Chains A and B, each alone.
Chain A
Amino acid sequence: MKAYYSLFKMTLIKGLQYRISALAGVSTQFFFGFMFIMVYQAFYLSNPATQPISLRELILIVWLQQAFLVFIMLWFRDSEIINLITTGNIAYELCRPTDIYNFWFAKLIAQRLSRAILRCFPILLIAALLPFPYKFTLPDHLTTIILFFLTLILGLIIIVSISMLIYISMFYTMSPTGSLLMFSVLGEFFAGLTIPIPLMPDFLRNLTYMLPFRYAADLPFRIYAGNIKHDEAIISIGIQLFWILLLLTVGKLWLKKALNRIVIQGG
């Protein structure tokens, strides 16, 4: 356990060093948040009929998406792991007395955490100082916040478990391009990052509910915004746990198989 903790801490410190990069990221994401909000605002202006999600709720979701972008992006890649696999240097990792799956998992979580820590507070803080309707506000109930954080963390685990599958697939494809592409294109769409899930047509919305992606991004944010009520949130946590269990099991088994293949081939 100590090894994972050390790796976790090292990655975290490394991530914290990139301060200018963090500042740049904050400004970029802040700008994009603003832009998305204005686009939605203009759309909502053209049709006064009630939509499945209010503009106000949408604005909160946009800010959260921007603040926690590194939690939910699938295209975020770790070149070190990619190199290990494609160059065959993975053999050295195998010599270490640690479980590769857990080792990488800890590293990937720490990477996303360190970046998010630097970025989420400034974005949300500035957004909280904006005038209405752009203002970022706290929800009315403490329960909402607790449910938000719980689902957010579980969501992070889901995303990292999915990205582990991308890395493992590279043992077969030897290039990150294909799987990263497929996952990130469809993953982002079905996570509700290009169009908010409540605004999708019914059949698409139903489809997203059957895939894991929305449970990492759409769910926690809509809980925060109040678009998903507490009882539904609790059921969704159950579904999140189900996905985590499934993805972790599949990932571990698949990695084991992939590694066996390497050992046999002597690659």
Chain B
Amino acid sequence: MKIYFKYLKILLKSQMEYRTSFILLSTGQFFVPFLIFISIFLLFQRFPNIGGWSLYEVALCYSIIHIAFSLSECFARGFDSFSSTVIKGDFDRILVRPLSTIIQVLGSKFEFTRVGRFTQSVIVLIFSLSNLSITWEIYKIMTLILMVISGVFIFVGIYMIGATLSFWTIEGLEVINIFTDGGREISQYPLNIYQDWIKKFFTYVIPFGTVNYLPLMYLLDKTNRSIFMLAPLLGILFIIPCIFIWNFGVKHYKSTGS
């Protein structure tokens, strides 16, 4: 873990060598998703609710998933853009160092420009919370934090699966976007507005539902089953099979070297 922060430090230092580009990209990372939220906002000017959820409730959904997404893109960029590491042959370098491959890949890249996306998500979060009347207690705040953590773990898990695929092929990896970008877009609205199969898929297979929809049902008093509050914990478990898949991929790489 200590070594991860060393990686973080050295790459932050690298990034600061390119100040202009950093500022521009961060600005972009702020506005691109922010315009999506503006669109949601504008749609709510014509329509009163979606699936029974108000603008502020959707904004809460939106901000949680976008915070998780921006954090995961920042801190697990090494997996997210792993195909370029494979193409350049830099994975060989990782294999000749005495550290776990996961730590090294995580440490190989950080995308600090995601601070832009993070900021806009926090603004939306504040916008939402200041308009919703939730009585805040410590366990609810804990749940909120757990929701974000769970989201980060799920995104990272998907990046790992995508990275594993690039051991076999570097073509067609954009299909992973269905689960990363797609998962993010899907979960910026409550899951109940979708067809049943989508709802089930994103609850049981890739558990984005546990990040915001299920716990928010409880926090927003749409259900009184307090067990929903613990859903994010299940989401975190998603990372475990992903680690197995990654290790399998590394093994494959070592037998083909492609």
Asked if chains A and B are in direct contact (CB within 8 A), the reply is: yes
* Residues of A that sit less than 8 Å from B by CB: 18-25, 27-28, 31-32, 34-35, 38-39, 41-44, 46-47, 51, 175, 177-178, 181, 184-185, 188-189, 194-195, 199-201, 204
Tell me which residues across on chain A come within 8 A of B194, comparing CB atoms: 35, 38, 42
Q: A21 touching B174 by the CB < 8 A rule?
A: yes
The smallest C-beta distance from B186 to any residue of chain A, in angstroms, reads: 6
How long is the Cα–Cα vector from A19 to B171 in the complex, in angstroms?
A: 8
Q: A46 touching B21 by the CB < 8 A rule?
A: no
Q: A181 touching B48 by the CB < 8 A rule?
A: no
Question: Which of B21, B25, B42, B198 meets A199, CB within 8 Å?
Answer: B42
Would you call B246 an interface residue if the criterion is a C-beta within 8 Å of the partner chain's C-beta atoms?
no
Question: Which of A38, A43, A51, A194 meets B35, CB within 8 Å?
Answer: A194
How long is the Cα–Cα vector from A22 to B25 in the complex, in angstroms?
A: 28
Question: When A and B form their complex, what is the total count of cross-chain residue pairs whose Cβ atoms lie within 8 Å?
Answer: 97
Contact flag A43-B182 (CB < 8 Å), given A21-B174, A28-B174:
no
Would you call B49 an interface residue if the criterion is a C-beta within 8 Å of the partner chain's C-beta atoms?
yes
- Residue of B43, B51, B172, B198 with most chain A CB atoms under a 10 A cut-off: B172
- Known contacts A24-B174, A201-B42; 16 additional CB pairs below 8 A are A18-B171, A21-B174, A24-B173, A24-B175, A35-B185, A38-B198, A42-B189, A42-B194, A43-B47, A46-B47, A47-B46, A178-B24, A181-B28, A185-B28, A185-B31, A185-B35
For the complex, count residues of B whose C-beta is within 8 A of A.
37
Q: A177 touching B21 by the CB < 8 A rule?
A: yes
Q: B48 touching A46 by the CB < 8 A rule?
A: yes
Q: B172 touching A24 by the CB < 8 A rule?
A: yes
Q: A39 touching B193 by the CB < 8 A rule?
A: yes
How long is the Cα–Cα vector from A28 to B189 in the complex, in angstroms?
A: 19
- 6 A-B pairs with least C-beta separation: A24-B172, A42-B193, A20-B172, A195-B39, A24-B175, A181-B28
How long is the Cα–Cα vector from A83 to B154 in the complex, in angstroms?
A: 36
How long is the Cα–Cα vector from A250 to B175 in the complex, in angstroms?
A: 38
Question: Which of A28, A42, A199 meets B51, CB within 8 Å?
Answer: A42
10 pairs of residues in contact across A and B, judged by CB atoms under 8 Å: A23-B172, A28-B177, A35-B185, A39-B50, A43-B47, A47-B46, A178-B24, A188-B35, A189-B35, A201-B42
How long is the Cα–Cα vector from A18 to B173 in the complex, in angstroms?
A: 12
Question: Which of A18, A27, A28, A175 meets B21, CB within 8 Å?
Answer: A175
Tell me which residues across on chain B come within 8 A of A44, comparing CB atoms: 47
Question: Which of A25, A181, A184 meets B24, CB within 8 Å?
Answer: A181
Would you call B133 an interface residue if the criterion is a C-beta within 8 Å of the partner chain's C-beta atoms?
no
Q: A185 touching B46 by the CB < 8 A rule?
A: no
Would you call B132 an interface residue if the criterion is a C-beta within 8 Å of the partner chain's C-beta atoms?
no
The smallest C-beta distance from A58 to any residue of chain B, in angstroms, reads: 12
Question: Which of B20, B28, B36, B43 meets A43, CB within 8 Å?
Answer: B43
Within 8 A of A (CB), among B26-63: 27-28, 31-32, 35-36, 38-39, 42-43, 45-51
